[in-house]
Amino acid sequence: MLPRLPSVFCRLVRNQGGVTMVEYALLAALLSLATVATLNSVGQAIQSVMSAATSGMN
């Protein structure tokens, strides 16, 4: 196995199929992070509106 290691490494370096997969994974992670941040901000705004509505009813 050890003598074949350089050839396996060279094959992995030449293979570009995995690069696209990594790029898509990074893009999905970035979009997920942006979505969570946006929903967190919107959630806080909705909470303050609901709190004001609740205190107005009392």
Of 4, 3, 6, 2, the closest CA to residue 14 belongs to 6
* Domain-wise residue ranges, the chain: 17-57
Question: Percent of the chain, pLDDT > 70?
Answer: 81
* DSSP letters spanning the chain: -TTTHHHHHHHHHH--HHHHHHHHHHHHHHHHHHHHHHHHHHHHHHHHHHHHHHHHH-
pLDDT band at 29 (very low <50, low <70, confident <90, very high): very high
Per residue in 42-52, pLDDT (tens digit) is 998 899 999 99
